[in-house]
Structure 1
Amino acid sequence: MELKKALALENFAQTVYRKCDCCKRVRDIYFRLNIRDAKTASMLVGSLELCKECGYNMGDITNTQIQTERTLEEFSFE
């Protein structure tokens, strides 16, 4: 079983201000870690909502490329 499939780290479209499930501090929540069944990776077992720092740490653990900066539109100056 691949770790990225069992522990899927996803970005929220907009941050939410609440308690991080990992460090228990009240902060902007950027990520949700979806925890799937270890044998099949098809059934959702649970999830954790993570702040920026905890999300980056979890991304390092699962070798997932994550970013919190988004580009809404790209402009061409031609």
Structure 2
Amino acid sequence: MKHLLIALLLAPLALAAQDKHSNEDTRKDIQRHRAMAAAHEAAARCLESGKGHDTCQRELLAACKGLAIGKYCGMRHEH
């Protein structure tokens, strides 16, 4: 019980220490999220136009190169 109490008391300090983004870091994060959103919107328009899934996926991957972690541009869903 003592260890749980200590962990609960220290948790907010650990979380506060992790969230020390500068204004510049925050600005860059915002730009990356907007770029990823634009790439996903373009992928949706690609699918709506009747192009195949594989074609649209290749376009999405090209648009997201260097933006997000992984091969799904920061998002993954069932497929």
Mark yes or no: TM-score above 0.5. no
Higher helix proportion, which one? 2
TM-score (normalised: structure 1): 0.31
TM-score (normalised: structure 2): 0.31
Higher strand proportion, which one? 1
